[in-house]
Amino acid sequence: MLTGSDMHAAAARLAGRIRVTPLAEADPGSFPPASRVWLKLELMQHTGSFKVRGAFNRIMSAAEQGPLPAAGVVAASGGNAGLAVAYAAARHELPARVFVPAAAPEVKVARLRAYGADVVQGGSCYAEAYEAAAKHAADVGALLCHAYDQPEVCAGQATLGLELLEQTGGELDTVLVAVGGGGLMAGIAAATQGRARVVGVEPVAIPTLHAALAAGRPVDVQVSGIAADSLGATRLGEIPFAVATRAGVRSVLVDDADLVTARRLLWDRYRLAVEHGAAAALAALTSGAYRPADGERVAVVLCGANTDPSSLA
């Protein structure tokens, strides 16, 4: 289980290694009846997504236990987790191998290689890439960095929640965050439990949290739609499910058209280029899937920017 000591230890490890990303207030009156809406600009994090928090914490935690393996690290990813692992591995002078689905966006594959990762493409989804990564780890002794379901990874993502509380002075009611495998949701929910509610926002086409809450356990879902490259986990992680049920996280669903609309709004109004998956958090507001109460103070986490900017032209 994710504890306060885990989260604060992660914050200490990551100090000076990650960016404290800005919190920008949305235009007043943009999303009534909320009194204030902030945009957490995590898209400005190293590698363009929040994932580097968990990747650094996983590798640094392992290093505290003994020498890191000569075989380096391995990850499976739709792109963002792999970028984070490759970046963190390079900072530790470790080799990194990243398994990605065959349909991973070229913009992400190219950046993985630029960070020095050995990229292996194959399979139709994240789950198949993960099976290959786990086998590689077992075969050669590499350190396996899970995209979302390891304690160290979730604790690293929790540092974003701690930042939000500090940046808002604790004057925060609700955090809207996109959910795929659930690592970021779990980290934020653990960090803000008892101080703010967390609402997970998911595409209708990939409802991992929604399905898990309905079933009372993580279950497999079909993966499709325009956000599959970043929110393409086939099921919610066990750790994220435990945190979500403990913290009372709820799920709201948005469709692909909502993602497109929210992504376009962020570009047109704020000149922020985000992935479709990252736009899900704002889509909860723009679509009406989440309706704030009078005077509610809401933070919208914009968690990733690894997208093709030409699609915004």
Segment 4-21, tens digit of pLDDT: 999 999 999 999 999 999
Ranges 98-107, 258-267, 275-284: which has the least confidence: 98-107
Whole-number pLDDT of residue 313: 66
- At 247 the pLDDT is 97
Instruction: Flag whether pLDDT at 277 surpasses 70.
Output: yes
CA 64 to CA 53: how far, in whole Å? 17
On whether the CB atoms of residues 281 and 266 are closer than 8 A, the answer is no
Spatial distance between the Cα atoms of 211 and 217, rounded to a whole number of angstroms: 8
Q: Once rounded to an integer, what is the mean pLDDT over residues 120-136?
A: 89
Domains of the chain: 4-50+152-312 (3.40.50.1100), 51-145 (3.40.50.1100)
Q: How far is CA 252 from CA 121, 169, 206, 246, 288, in A?
A: 32, 27, 12, 18, 10
pTM of the model: 0.95
pLDDT at 99: 95
Rounded to an integer, the average pLDDT of 137-162 is 97
Asked whether the CA dihedral 186, 189, 185, 93 is positive or negative, the reply is negative
pLDDT at 123 over 90: no
Total residues belonging to the chain: 313
pLDDT of residue 232: 86
| pLDDT of 255 above 90 | yes
Distances (CA, A) of 306 to 199, 244, 310: 23, 27, 12
> Over the chain, what is the mean pLDDT?
95
- Specify whether the CB–CB gap between 188 and 160 falls below 8 A: yes
Predicted pLDDT of residue 77: 86
- How confident is residue 191, by pLDDT bands cut at 50, 70 and 90? very high
Contacts of 166 (CB under 8 A, 6+ apart): none
User: For position 78, what pLDDT does the model report?
Assistant: 73
The arithmetic mean of pLDDT across residues 208-217, rounded, is: 98
- Please determine, for residue 309, whether its predicted confidence score (pLDDT) is greater than 90: no
